[in-house]
Chains A and B, each alone.
Chain A
Amino acid sequence: MGKTENLFNRRKFLVSSVLGATGVVAGATGIKSGMSSSIMPKNDKTNIIYRKLGKTGIKLPVISMGVMRADNPNIVKAALAKGMVHLDTANSYQQGRNEEMLGKVLKDYPRDSYVISTKVKPGGGNRKTGLYTDKTTEEDFLKKFDESMDRLGIEYVDILYHHAVSKREAALYEPVLNAMKKIKASGRAKHLGISTHKNEPEIIQAAIDSGVYEVVLTAYNFKQDHIPEMDKMLEKATKAGLGIVGMKNLAGGYLDKEKQKPVNAQAALKWALQNPNVHTLIPGFTNFEQLDDCAAVLTDIKMSSDEKEDLIAARSEQGMYCNACSACVPQCRKGLPVPELMRAYMYTYGYRELKKGQDLLVSLELPGDVCSHCDECTVSCVKNFSVAEKIKDVSRLLDVPAEFIA
């Protein structure tokens, strides 16, 4: 095959102001490309809003970077160039590739120019109950932390989190606390923290009680069902000297399953920062447009009336998903497993996975004519789901012969 047809529309090219003027074009011998951090587009950093991360004494811009999804080192460099300082990763993200990528990037930066946190999830836990078992050991935690440090290639992390904790017992699990204290004593972690996105108030209270944790990384967003409880607990934590880092602030980023209704990102971030007890946020941006959106909040956290209205409208969008808070379980007179029934409803109506819905219903061994014997439902769902109606609807699936669905 000869020279390939080129269909570029040359008239549309924005011909170089630099290369074009100088006539510099790479020759066949090759030109080293790459991006020095010093020529990344920068923000005016003079107006960046900082908050102190509790008693750690670390002063952070109100927006940090959740690196979890990023696989492009240049996004991280761009975030640093825009004035973000704090980078958040975890031992498990991308099976360690995320920490490796960060490690390569950070080689080019002075150690005192950034603040880095990583998280270790102890092994041997029961992800279903959120509790640890005898397989959860100090050694395992230390081994995972060693892996993280090897990947990052740095001498210390600023914050080491006990990752994804949802039960008080787990937050205070001695082998994990012992491992973390040893790491801090060795100087390889300057501060210790705990991360949670389920039963957050319980975990924050445990963090206060522990006397070990100095930072809490918690889910906090405008769509949460327990905002007043969260606000009280965050105030309590701040008074106790804990630093608070917010995550999941965009509440999933979209209001619908089809991803046609994006959350107003700036509004959602600003909403979280209206709470002075939230010190920084870690949105997980993966492209430069999202970065610009987040970076705009570095210097401006005041919410416009449009942004407030956007969030009010967004909050009124009711999802199909039960967050399994289980507050309803003791309320049901018949002792029904309401969260599981809501999950069956989600499978059936949300994902049209009728087989999964039916399998789950069968496994629950429900009494006949579920909900038909109660005149009035005593369950009050925190998400305002019409629990009885949804249970009645989905339980009809039990009447359908399995062969119709399989």
Chain B
Amino acid sequence: MFRLNLLPDNQKNTFMKNRGLVKVTLAIFWIAVFYIHAMAYPPEPNVSFPEMKGYKIVQEYPVYVPDDLWDYINGGADAYLNYGFTDLHIAEYVKGETTIKVEVYHHKDNVYAFGMYALERGPDYHFIKLGVQGYAENSLVNFVKGPWYVKVSTYNDDEETGKELLKLATSMEKSLKGENTRPEVLSSFPEEGKILNSESFIASSFLGYSFLNEVFTVSYRNGDKSYKMFVLIPGTPEEAEKNVNDLISRAKSSKVTDDGSVWIEDPYNGSILMRRVQNKVFGCIGDIDIKLFNSNVEHMLRAIKND
């Protein structure tokens, strides 16, 4: 018999008093369940692992979710949870003594997936064009595409397995739906002086302050000096102003510069230069050059407006 009742037993008796009511209620319930499901996971969360000639696909691991990611990557889970982790799908490709593991971390959107990828990315890796970006090292290939952060790894470090690792990563990338472009805001940062692959997205507590969240950053060189530009874009100008004022309230000192930016001496982070324009807060830390900062802000504003 076909039953469509997922309600707990203690709620069932009331429904059973009227069968007609039960049917209508269940129909509404299912519609609600599907609606909630669709809203909670806009992209299709299921992952299909592509076939690989000569390899058997073994899927012994459960799908990990935020509550049990600890079971899989222990203390490392915290960072993933901070970056909107929703679920992890794992498959192992086995051929004789060779095992290649594919871990597909699903994040709430492409920005958060990129942020997690960037957090773990080293500046000296061998970067490859795979998805939005990827890198290949001895026994691993990692890449990000849309809301997916994918890690393909093996314990065999011979050249042949290395090639197969890349081949598998490439077909995995093709099988995943998602955008192959960096988060849009990162394209607004100026190119001149940019340190290659320094783009990042900080999900929360930028500079160690709980009120500075969802911040995009890029690092630059200026001669023998270096600095970091950042931008955060809260929903409203009021929220943006609050962000700046919250930072000022914690400052050892602050001063408005001639061109309307604010120079903050932060007790923990040193000098910070910031400027709010409508709902955007631009900032700079490191070896600050006010003229260069202003020029960068103008560039970013033009780029954002042109989008």
Residues of A within 8 A of B (CB): 1, 3-10, 12-20, 25-35, 39-41, 66, 68-69, 71-72, 74-75, 77-78, 90, 92-97, 100, 121, 123-124, 127-128, 135, 140, 163-164, 195, 197-198, 247, 257, 284, 286-291, 319-321, 324, 343, 346-348, 350-356, 360, 389, 392-394, 396-397, 399-401, 404
Contact = CB atoms under 8 A, between A and B. Distances in A.
Interface stretch (B158-166, B176-184, B188-196, B243-251): B243-251
B253 A18 contact: yes
Contact of A350 (B60, B67, B207): B67
A8 B256 contact: yes
Lowest 10 A-B CB distances belong to which pairs?
Answer: A33-B271, A6-B260, A16-B253, A95-B120, A287-B205, A30-B289, A164-B74, A28-B291, A35-B270, A33-B270
B8 A393 contact: yes
Interface string B54-74: 000000111101111011111
A31 B257 CA distance: 14
A356 B207 contact: no
Contacts of A351: 40, 65, 87
B62 A93 contact: no
B268 A197 contact: no
Interface of A is mostly: loop
Contact of B119 (A74, A94, A135, A360): A94
A20 B253 contact: yes
B4 A15 contact: no
Contacts of B241: 7-9, 12
A140 to B, nearest CB: 8
A96 B122 contact: yes
Given A74-B207, A90-B76, A7 B271 contact: no
Given A7-B278, A94-B120, A121-B74, 11 more contacts: A4-B298, A6-B260, A14-B249, A68-B76, A257-B66, A284-B78, A286-B82, A286-B204, A346-B65, A351-B65, A392-B9
Interface in B253-292: 253-257, 259-263, 265-273, 275-278, 285-292
Nearest to A2: B298
B263 A26 contact: yes
Range of interface residues on B (Cβ < 8 Å): 35 or more
B67 A321 contact: yes
B3 A92 contact: no
A5 B251 CA distance: 24
Contacts of A75: 208, 268
Contacts of A66: 75
Given A68-B79, A353-B87, A396-B3, A287 B208 contact: yes
B129 interface: no
Contacts of B270: 33-35
A32 B207 CA distance: 17
A10 B301 CA distance: 22
A41 B76 contact: no
Given A27-B290, A354-B37, A399-B3, A17 B256 contact: no
B198 interface: no
Contacts of A404: 30
Nearest to A28: B291
B233 to A, nearest CB: 14
13 contacts: A6-B259, A13-B262, A14-B249, A15-B253, A25-B257, A25-B263, A30-B292, A33-B271, A39-B267, A69-B82, A72-B207, A351-B65, A399-B1
B202 interface: yes
B207 A19 contact: no
Contact of B244 (A8, A69, A195, A399): A8
B24 interface: no
B71 A324 contact: yes
B33 interface: yes
Contact of A8 (B206, B262, B272): B262
B221 interface: no
A288 B46 contact: no
A165 to B, nearest CB: 10
B152 interface: no
A163 B249 CA distance: 41
B62 to A, nearest CB: 6
B279 to A, nearest CB: 9
A343 B68 CA distance: 10
Nearest to A95: B120
B255 A40 contact: no
Nearest to A17: B253
A12 B248 contact: yes
B9 A393 contact: yes
Contacts of B259: 3, 6
User: Which one of B70, B202, B251 has the highest number of Cβ atoms from chain A below 10 Å of its Cβ?
Assistant: B70
Contact of B46 (A40, A74, A97, A355): A355
